[in-house]
Chains A and B, each alone.
Chain A
Amino acid sequence: MKMKSFLLAAIFIFFANTAMLSASSVHESATDAQQQQAKPYEPKSIAQLSATFLERTGIYAMLFPQEGVTNGHGEEMTLFEQSTGRVIMFAIIFLLFYLAIAKGFEPLLLLPIAFGGLLANIPIANMTSDHGMLGIIYNMGIANEFFPLLIFMGVGAMTDFGPLLSNPKTALLGGAAQFGIFGSLIGAAALSQYTGIVDFSLQQAGAISIIGGADGPTSIFIASKLAPELLGAIAVAAYSYMALVPVIQPPIMRALTSKEERCIVMPKTREVKRLEKLIFPLIVVMMIALVLPDAAPLMGAFALGNFAKESGVVDRLSNEMQNSLINIVTIFLGLGVGSKLASDSFLVAETLGIMVIGLLAFAAGTAAGVIMGKIMNKFSKEPINPLIGAAGVSAVPMAARVVSKVGAEEKPGNILLMHAMGPNVAGVIGSAVAAGVLLSIFN
């Protein structure tokens, strides 16, 4: 009995000792760290003070780049990225400011994105680190793909499916335009397979090709899931090309159609009952639930916004989604994406490849939509102006406006806007479905 209690006591003392030892070692290491952080201040001469201050200036950091300097994520930056790279990025960012303000290129997003880029390239401040403003914003809502979904909710609350419901078959035009996504996927794959310029993985190629969907939030959503390292370039490409829709699309639309086709007048659309608009978002969600759950986050948020709007009983919520919420999230989304415009992640060969492929994706989507419009015009009882196919590349409502403008130029008084809005909103659904397919492949 004595022996047993002695043994127990010994074991107890042993554990108590080890616990105390480990606790004291933890304590010691903690105080070590504290001592390292808060060095006692030593008196310095004014010359020493000036010298240390000079070393902490941005000019010094850019003129005399040093080995071993890390970016916000602890990765080492090359000498070029620390010096000339930053200068080039500042120039690119000022160009983006010019495009957003003077040329009106999607200013709502391009301006915060560019400003985020400006802040991200400030040396020493390390604003993209986990404790920096941009890093916090990025981790808060982009790394976990949350912000694009909130944007999608607002877009849903702003979208009117009336034109689509009044002429349902135009939805197929929105499907054809998604060829831009998959066509450019092949382009990206070929570029990295047969040329040595860039080396995209299939995931990266998929993330880039979604630019062809001409839908900003979808692009950011997919990029942050499949290839976060390319997010900055993809977002800039997507929004720049969306702003360039009036420049990119008309020549392609004219090249693929004859004058007679462009002059086709479409019959007036029927009026859509409110009940149809109310049921529509539910149909979409149920179809997503049954066919493609991978697209559920995107389409779920979109349908929620639309349902709130069409229900007519929660105007307060719907207004919030359309205004305050989407505006706040736009600021954060822009700054967060801008954090990826730091010289070390933007100034790479891939960026150039993304710009080229993005442009091809837009062109291919437009062309496929117009060709589908021609085919449908051949087989449909009612005449269909093939121009409205070009609106299938989402980019709501810019693409539809461009179609209407080109149509009115050919035949004054021929208003195609409402007819083009059908494929336009179907394009949003189409690109979300395409995004869901890509996610389902890589999951």
Chain B
Amino acid sequence: METNLVLESLKFMVLGMGVVFLFLYLLVLLMQLQAFIVGKFFSNNNDSNTIDTKKSNDLDEKRRIAAIIGAVMQHKK
């Protein structure tokens, strides 16, 4: 019997979309879980205690500089 290409590809779609969603849904759950765990147990370590965040947290650095500038301006007034 000749394979019905359309029917086969329909089956591929069911399997494929199923696996893609399952995979990403598991990933979502794991991401939420790790956010929860990291937030709960490692929340103090975010800035500089255990991990060197100098490079990745440029934003923090900028904020600190902004705060210092703000304080100086306040002082000058």
Contact = CB atoms under 8 A, between A and B. Distances in A.
A273 B35 CA distance: 8
Interface residues of A, number: 49
Given A279-B34, A441-B15, A175 B24 contact: yes
Interface of B, secondary structure class, is helix
B53 A274 contact: yes
Interface in B14-56: 15-17, 19-28, 30-32, 34-35, 38-39, 42-43, 45-46, 51-53, 55-56
Contact of A273 (B3, B28, B39): B39
Nearest to B53: A274
A179 B53 contact: no
Interface in A267-314: 272-277, 279-280, 283-284, 287, 291-292, 310, 312
B16 A178 contact: yes
What class of interface size applies to chain B in its complex with A? 35 or more
Nearest to A372: B21
Nearest to A169: B28
Contacts of B30: 283, 287
A202 interface: yes
A193 B24 contact: no
Given A172-B28, A283-B27, A312-B56, A185 B17 contact: no
A190 B56 CA distance: 50
A140 interface: no
Contacts of A399: none
B5 interface: yes
B5 A274 contact: no
A437 interface: yes
A438 interface: yes
Contacts of A433: 19-20, 23-24
Nearest to B43: A273
Contacts of A430: 20, 23-24
A276 B27 contact: no
A228 interface: no
B27 A429 contact: yes
A178 B56 CA distance: 32
Contacts of A273: 38-39, 42-43, 46
Most buried by A among B3, B23, B26, B35: B23
Contact of A189 (B9, B51, B52): B9
Contacts of A287: 23, 26-27, 30
A438 B12 CA distance: 8
A180 B45 CA distance: 42
A183 interface: yes
Interface string A192-219: 1110000010100110000000000000
B72 interface: no
Nearest to B3: A202
Most buried by B among A165, A168, A291, A310: A168
B9 A186 contact: yes
B38 to A, nearest CB: 5
Most buried by B among A175, A277, A434: A175
10 contacts: A165-B31, A165-B35, A189-B9, A194-B6, A202-B3, A205-B5, A276-B34, A287-B26, A292-B23, A437-B15
Interface of A: 164-165, 168-169, 171-172, 174-175, 178-179, 181-183, 185-186, 188-190, 192-194, 200, 202, 205-206, 272-277, 279-280, 283-284, 287, 291-292, 310, 312, 315, 426, 429-430, 433-434, 437-438, 441
